[in-house]
Structure 1
């Protein structure tokens, strides 16, 4: 399987690229990124690095480089507090994600062999909330935005009468770096945190095999 990975220089995205390289089910990785990747990763024969500045638009020349991709692991986003303001957070998290999903659905799905599905997995977060009017007492902006992305991605898939565009939303509780120390791992157990490489392996398994639910909660991710 050929897959697209975004957010390749971030915590989750870089782990996804590493684990895709190590996974025999993944034949090639299109690393869609603003910045060059680590030289050791970029040199892998399984990786094509595609520099892309504007994730709100996908010109034909770019989409032609992604030909043959059967899945996308979308890891652009994060928490609202990591952005300068809510408008920037919404643009990056909502607008960019949906623009990518629509572009891949329109341009890449028709190229797949008959009967093949394109699987789009969004790295969401625990407690994502679809109801935009529901009052939330903690992490409200993050949870509402991630919930809106999930909802609109599912609506995009539902509108596809061919059923060849599948959406999955992974909801990790907390993510530990690969080199997390003993103290961080112990604290992480209190809220069900998952090691980033384990998370990446779970996400890859979902796009390779599919999954019974569109929303994959943290407890399920820990078992994949």
Structure 2
């Protein structure tokens, strides 16, 4: 399988790239990124690093470079507090993600062999909330925007009459880096945190095999 990975310089995205390169079930990785990646990825025969600055649009020339991709692992985003304001966060999280999903549905999915589906796996977050009017007492902006992305992606998939484009939204709780210390891991047990490499393996498995649920909660990710 040939796959697209985004957010490649981030905690989750970089782990996804490593897992994809290591998997014998993935033949090639298109690392779609705003910034250059480390030498190990750039020189891997299984990876093509594609620099792209404006994720609000995916022009035909870029989609041509991605031809043959059968799925995408989307890890652009994070928490609202990591952005200068909610409007910027919503643009990056919602607009970029949904625009890419539409482009892949319209361009890449129809290129696949008959009966094959393009799988779009979005790294969302625990407690993502679709109801934009619901009062929330913690991480409100992050949860609402994540929910808005999930809803938008599901609408993109549902609009595909041919059912060639499918969406999975994974909702990890806190994510622990590989070098997390004892204190961080002890605290992480309080909210069922997941190791980033475990999360990456779970997301790659969902990409390769699909899943019975469209929304995949943290407990399920921990079990994969």
Same-fold call, TM > 0.5? yes
RMSD over equivalenced CA pairs, Å: 0.6
Taking the TM superposition and a 5 Å limit, the aligned residue runs for 1:28-47 are: 28-47=28-47
Provide the C-alpha distance between the structure 1 equivalents of 2:181 and 2:2, rounded to a whole number of angstroms: 33
State the partner residue of 2:208. 208
Q: 2:217 aligns to what?
A: 217
User: Any residues of structure 2 matched to 1:1-224 within 5 Å, and which?
Assistant: 1-224=1-224
SS in 1 for 2:191: coil
Shift of 1:42: 1.2
Q: Deviations over 1:156-212 (max 9, x none)?
A: 111111111000000001100011112111111110000001000000000100000
Unaligned segments of structure 2, at least 5 residues:
none
CA distance in 1, matches of 2:38, 2:83: 24
**Displaced runs of 4 or more, over 4 A:** none
Give unmatched runs, 5+ long, in structure 1: none
Once residues 20 and 222 of structure 1 are traced to their aligned partners in structure 2, the CA distance between those partners, rounded to angstroms, is 19
For residues 215 and 197 of structure 1, what CA distance do their matches in structure 2 show? 20
